[in-house]
A and B are shown apart, each in its own frame.
Chain A
Amino acid sequence: MTEPQVPRFAGWRAIFRGHALPTAGLVGMGLFLALALLAPAIAPQNPYDQMQLNIMDGLLPPMTQTMDGRIAYLGTDSLGRDILSAVLYGLRISLLVAVVAVAAGITAGVLLGLVSALRGGWIDALVMRAVDLTVSFPGVLLAIMLLAIFGTGVDKVIVALAIGIWAQTARVVRAVALTEMQRDYIAAARLGGISEWRIMLHFLLPNSITPVLVLLPMAISGAIVAEATLSFLGVGVPITQPSLGLLIANGNEYLLSGKWWISMIPGLVLVAMVLCVNVVADRMRDHANPFLRAKD
């Protein structure tokens, strides 16, 4: 007689056991994270430090020797900057922007979605119309518009991306929370005289959060790509803090003159990282969907 329920968020082990590709994706995600965190320690040079650059090393292909006798494993760009170092530092910026933007966007979205479901009335109407307005622009266009207003900068890119993310989260959380509100344990909590704030945080939030956890990795890969797009278009992060997207843009003009490595290497790293996140995201989505799960 029990209704089939959306399965609880099981441990990582249960989700990934027996799935080779998603497990590899998870390992890859960990690797990229480690590289980004350890960049200052492992990068051959600090790509931001003008004093370490030698213009004579400009445009070296991968695996050639620089003037000071080191090997530039992944080549250098027109200023003589080591691509490996630039990519490691770029990874930091890309991940920082994506993770902070997603965290901010999802937190705001979850809270607004819960408040919307719990209070209803004009608050609900206001939040949902704001959601409609936000999602009616293509994400990148919205971000470009916001950046045109705010100006560029890492913090502004984060805000612009977060604004694109909160709306979808708010909509999903509101929908789940509204069905949860119909359940008797919420009525029981109200009969117990528990305050609305506690009902929201201790009753509604833990029971509405599962779909958001499933969306989380997908939102991160989306944010990574969106940030790269913005930076490539020149409205993203400033040139002093180059992300992967900006590195791709920098090499763009050399792409047709045979200097492929300047653009391609950050591009490949970006693709690999997004791929890792996506296979993990797919696995988590499948795990959360009981209809797909019955077949595997």
Chain B
Amino acid sequence: MTPLLQIDDLTIAYRLADGSGFQAIRDYSLTMAPGEIVGIVGQSGAGKSTIGKAVLGLMGENATIEAGRIRLSGHDITRARDVEAIRGRKVGYIYQNPMTALNPVLTIGEQLLESIVTHTGRRGAAARAYAVELLEQAEVPQAAERLSKYPHQLSGGLCQRIVFAIAICARPALLIADEPTTALDVTVQKAVLATLERMARKEGIGILLITHDMGVVAQMCDRVQVLRRGELVEEGATRQLLLHPAAAYTRQLMAAIPPMDRRLDRFDVIERQADSPGRERGIAYLRTARDGFAPSGSALLSVRGLSKTYPAPPRSGQDAFVALKDVSFDVRAGEVLGIVGESGSGKSTIGRCILGLQQPDAGAAITFRGRSLQPGRRDRAALARSLQCIFQDPYSSLNPRMSAAVNMTYALVAHGLVAARDARRLAGDLLEVVQLPRDAAGKMPHAFSGGERQRIGIARALAFRPELIFCDEPTSALDVTVQAEVLNLMKDLREMLGLTLVFVSHDLAVVRQMCDRVLVMSKGEIVEAGAADEVLLRPRHAYTRDLLASMPRMAET
């Protein structure tokens, strides 16, 4: 039998701006049987997406195939000129973010019909009937009504199903799915993947699934390839590879995945941790504030009746949006409080209200160590030393025009907490505390990777020696191995410095690893609260059970 897709010794190089070359893929081979679902996993930058794009001839103009062959059902398409005949017709592509893959100014029907007319030759009523059939196949409820809707009127999960429908309209033999559920909420991820799998199995479509998520691989794939820096590390049947990984890199990748069933002291990933005078000095600096902290176990922050309503635009006829509805909770000194929920459940809004970045509705009472935090009438400089934040997106949380050192110490110097001439040394010490090299202090943010930037963000928050740090999805933008490193760092720091953390995340497994107590949020309300073990292992509320059930898990394989 001819393989559906056969890639032999593929090498792809990118030409860089400075004229040098960079081999993104080296000697990569893949053989896929028709109807097979193959996963490619690896960290970001491993070259996963480059492979998918190479099959479709969608690589950037600065990329060239230096060696190797790509054959689709026996035909060589390595440097095919008539890529239009392949794209859409023989190979469908599913993008990471359905919201950007669909054209926002055209209706679903127009976009779907355009593909149908181009690829299948059906017209008019026949095309329309086929469109509805495709949507039904993609398990879109009320398929016929959706045709007249625009993408922004539909949820992310529905949009991705519509992308599926467009991708299979010409009955391609192969689908390339590039992180198809990364942009979606956990609660819809599982259902969307199940649809994709059913569609593929029914039609005998092979899927090349590109992902960083081992859970997704476990749920869908027949076979898995592990890619590292453009090279194939390991390949095998899913179950075999996940349960008995042979390569050290695969084992490391697996060790970085936060488990749901038990709480680890630390993740088992390789780290550089050498004690140096600078690091000790930094830790000593951070510890000096500890004596003034509230005794462990006492209520540090108390939130009562916190609501936040976004008024509807005048005369729009819409209802006001209630982001938070009467939320009350306490944070005790020395604990890690987790807040979990889907996107839009109001988790981050809680933080923004506490931190004073947003005004809560009237009637909310937020007290920190017994002192009321009056919105708008706060002593900012004093508060900065009590409450800090670690942000979600490491790419936007540092000022791109300031060096790492200045980013960390600007505010301290501005308030006169640190003399300008000592700031550079303090910055170096703090970098060593977060396990970055001392001489990184002078580099600008763009010279750092996402994980390194997040460490700088952590150092900036620590530099104030705050009692409470609000962590807003601090690892959701990071790769799983980098996430493990950053979580380890946060665990260590918490132990050393006695920090109190409020840890917001949509990832239940991460929360399980980090938190003592958990609040579960849904639609702006706390639906369940309690000890982390209790809530995550024996959930009482139906929503928490849904959330837990929808997590892709490796134990199922």
In the complex, what residues of B have CB within 8 A of residue A3's CB? 395
Cβ-defined contact, B381 with A193, below 8 A: yes
In chain B, what residue has the closest Cβ to A294? B61
* Contact, CB under 8 Å: A189 / B399: yes
The interface size of chain A toward B, counting residues with CB under 8 Å, comes to 23
Question: Does any Cβ of B come within 8 Å of A68's Cβ?
Answer: no
Q: Is A69 an interface position by the 8 A CB rule?
A: no
In the bound complex, residues from chain A placing their C-beta under 8 Å from that of B400 are 8, 185, 207
How long is the Cα–Cα vector from A240 to B229 in the complex, in angstroms? Answer: 71
Scoring B357, B388, B396, B460 by chain A CB atoms within 10 A of each residue's CB, the highest score goes to: B396
Say yes or no: B384 contacts A188, CB within 8 Å: no
Whole-angstrom CA separation of A8 from B412 in the bound complex: 27
B415-A188 in contact (CB<8A): no
What residues of chain B lie closer than 8 Å to A206, measured between beta carbons? Answer: 399, 401
Contact of B143 with A by CB under 8 A: no
Nearest CB to that of A188 among chain B residues? B397
Contacts of B477 in A (CB 8 A): 1
Neighbour of A193 across the interface among B357, B397, B411, CB < 8 A: B411
Is B377 in contact with chain A by the CB < 8 A criterion? Answer: no
A191 with B397: in contact, given A1-B44, A294-B60 (CB under 8 Å)? no
Q: Does B387 contact A (CB under 8 A)?
A: yes
Shortest beta-carbon distance from B395 to chain A in Å: 6
A residues within 8 A CB of B411? 189, 192-194
Contact of B357 among A1, A190, A198 (CB under 8 A): A190
A70 within 8 A of B: no
- State A189–B406 Cα separation when bound (angstroms): 12
In the complex the two chains form, is B396's CB within 8 Å of A185's CB?
yes
Inter-subunit contact B414/A198 (CB<8 Å): yes
Given contacts A1-B44, A198-B414, contact A191 B399 (CB under 8 A): no
Chain B residues with Cβ below 8 Å from A190 are: 356-357, 380
Contacting A at CB under 8 A, from B434-489, are 446, 450, 457, 460, 464, 477
CB-based contact A185/B399 at 8 Å: yes
A187 contacts B by Cβ under 8 Å:
yes
In the assembly, what is the distance between CA of A295 and CA of B410, in Å?
Answer: 39
- Do A1 and B450 have beta carbons less than 8 Å apart? yes
Q: Which residues of A contact B446 (CB under 8 A)?
A: 8
Cβ of B355 to closest chain A Cβ, rounded Å = 6
B382-399 vs A, CB cutoff 8 Å, 1 = contact: the mask equals 111001110111011111
Tell which of B61, B357, B395, B412 touches A191, judged by Cβ atoms closer than 8 Å.
B357
Enumerate chain B residues within 8 angstroms of A193, measured Cβ to Cβ: 380-384, 411, 414-415
Alpha-carbon gap, A203 to B411, bound state (A): 12
What residues of B have a CB within 8 angstroms of the CB of A203 in the complex?
Answer: 399
Chain A's nearest CB lies how many Å from the CB of B310?
A: 16
CA distance A203 to B400 in the complex (A): 9
How many angstroms from the CA of A85 to the CA of B446 in the assembled complex?
A: 51
Interface residues of A in 91-134 (CB under 8 A from B): none
- Is the beta-carbon distance between B464 and A192 smaller than 8 angstroms? yes
Q: How far is the CB of B60 from chain A (nearest CB, A)?
A: 7
**Distance between Cα atoms of A5 and B389 in the complex (Å):** 25
Interface residue? A19 (CB, 8 A): no
Nearest opposing residue in chain A for B400, CB measure: A207
CB distance from B501 to the nearest CB of A (A): 15
Closest beta carbon of chain B to A121's beta carbon, Å: 14
Interface residues of A in 194-232 (CB under 8 A from B): 194-195, 198, 202-203, 206-207
Establish whether residues B414 and A191, one from each chain, have CB atoms under 8 Å apart when the complex forms: no
A-chain residues with CB within 8 Å of residue B60 when the two chains form the complex: 294
The verdict on A183 contacting chain B, using a C-beta distance below 8 Å, is yes
Any chain B CB within 8 A of the CB of A2? yes
Instruction: Report the minimal beta-carbon distance from A191 to chain B, rounded to whole angstroms.
Output: 6
Q: Which residues of A contact B392 (CB under 8 A)?
A: 184
Q: In whole angstroms, how far apart are the Cα atoms of A110 and B271 in the complex?
A: 46
Inter-chain CA distance A295–B407, complex, in Å, is 35
CB-defined contacts of B44 to chain A, threshold 8 Å? 1
Residue among B62, B397, B412 with most chain A CB within 10 A: B397
Rounded to whole angstroms, the CA-CA distance of A190 and B376 in the bound complex is 12
Output the least CB separation between A108 and chain B (Å). 22
Would A192 and B410 be within 8 Å (CB), given that A8-B446, A207-B400 are in contact?
A: yes
Digitize B352-377: 1 where CB-to-A-CB distance is under 8 Å, 0 elsewhere: 00011100000000000000000000
* Residue tally, chain B, CB below 8 Å to A: 38
Report Cα–Cα, A283/B527, bound state, in Å.
Answer: 58
A184 vs B471: C-alpha distance when bound (angstroms): 13
B402 proximity list for chain A (CB < 8 A): 202
With a CB–CB cut-off of 8 A, which chain A residues contact B387? 191
Chain B residues whose C-beta falls within 8 Å of the C-beta of A295 in the assembled complex? 61
Q: Which residue of B lies closest to A182 (CB)?
A: B396
Q: Tell me, rounded to whole Å, the shortest Cβ–Cβ distance linking B429 to chain A.
A: 18
Contact B380 A188 (CB under 8 A): no
When chains A and B are docked, how far (Å) is the Cα of A1 from the Cα of B446? 14
Contact check, A185 vs B397: say whether CB atoms are below 8 A apart. yes
Contact in complex: A187, B389 (CB < 8 Å): yes
Query: Given A1-B477, A294-B61, A191–B388 Cβ distance below 8 Å?
Result: yes
Contact between B414 and A194, CB atoms less than 8 A apart: yes
Instruction: Please give, as numbers and ranges, the residues of chain B lying within 8 Å of A185 by CB-CB distance.
Output: 396-400, 407
Minimal beta-carbon separation of B475 from chain A (angstroms)? 13
Q: Give bound CA distance, A188 to B392, whole Å.
A: 12
- Report yes or no: A191 in contact with B384, Cβ–Cβ below 8 A: yes
**In the complex the two chains form, is B384's CB within 8 Å of A187's CB?**
no
- Closest Cβ–Cβ distance, residue B447 to chain A (whole Å): 12
A188 touches B389 (CB 8 A): yes
B381→A2 contact, CB < 8 A: no
Q: Which residues of the partner chain B approach A1 to less than 8 Å between Cβ atoms?
A: 44, 450, 477
Task: Please provide the chain B residues from 3 to 43 with a CB less than 8 Å away from any CB of chain A in the complex.
Answer: none
What's the nearest-Cβ distance from chain A to residue B163, in Å?
A: 19
Chain A hits for B412, CB < 8 A: 192
B169 CB, min distance to chain A CBs, angstroms:
29
Beta-carbon nearest neighbor of B60 in chain A? A294
The answer on a CB contact under 8 Å between A191 and B410 is no
| Chain A: minimal CB distance from B480 (Å) | 13
Q: Shortest CB–CB separation between residue A21 and chain B, in angstroms? A: 21
Query: How many Å from the CB of B210 to the closest CB on chain A?
Result: 13
Q: Which of B58-86 contact A (CB under 8 A)?
A: 60-62
- A184, A192, A295: residue with the most chain B Cβ atoms closer than 10 Å: A192
Q: Chain A nearest CB: distance from B527 CB in Å?
A: 28
The smallest C-beta distance from B409 to any residue of chain A, in angstroms, reads: 10
> In the docked arrangement, what's the CA distance between A190 and B402, Å?
16
Per the bound structure, the CA–CA distance linking A191 and B460 in Å amounts to 11
- Report A152-196 residues with CB < 8 Å from chain B CB: 183-185, 187-195
Sample (30) of A-B pairs whose CB atoms are under 8 Å apart: A8-B400, A8-B446, A183-B396, A184-B392, A184-B393, A185-B397, A185-B400, A185-B407, A187-B389, A187-B391, A188-B391, A188-B397, A188-B460, A189-B411, A190-B357, A190-B380, A191-B355, A191-B356, A191-B388, A193-B380, A194-B410, A194-B414, A202-B399, A202-B402, A203-B399, A206-B399, A206-B401, A207-B400, A207-B401, A294-B61
15 further A-B pairs in the complex, CB-CB below 8 A; given A185-B397, A185-B398, A202-B410: A2-B450, A183-B396, A183-B397, A184-B392, A185-B396, A187-B389, A187-B391, A190-B380, A191-B355, A191-B357, A191-B384, A193-B414, A194-B411, A206-B399, A207-B401
Interface residues of B (CB under 8 A from A): 44, 60-62, 355-357, 380-384, 387-389, 391-393, 395-402, 407, 410-412, 414-415, 446, 450, 457, 460, 464, 477
Question: Which A residues fall within an 8 A CB radius of B?
Answer: 1-3, 8, 183-185, 187-195, 198, 202-203, 206-207, 294-295
10 smallest CB-CB distances across A and B, nearest first, come from A192-B411, A193-B380, A206-B401, A184-B397, A193-B381, A183-B396, A184-B391, A193-B384, A185-B399, A184-B396
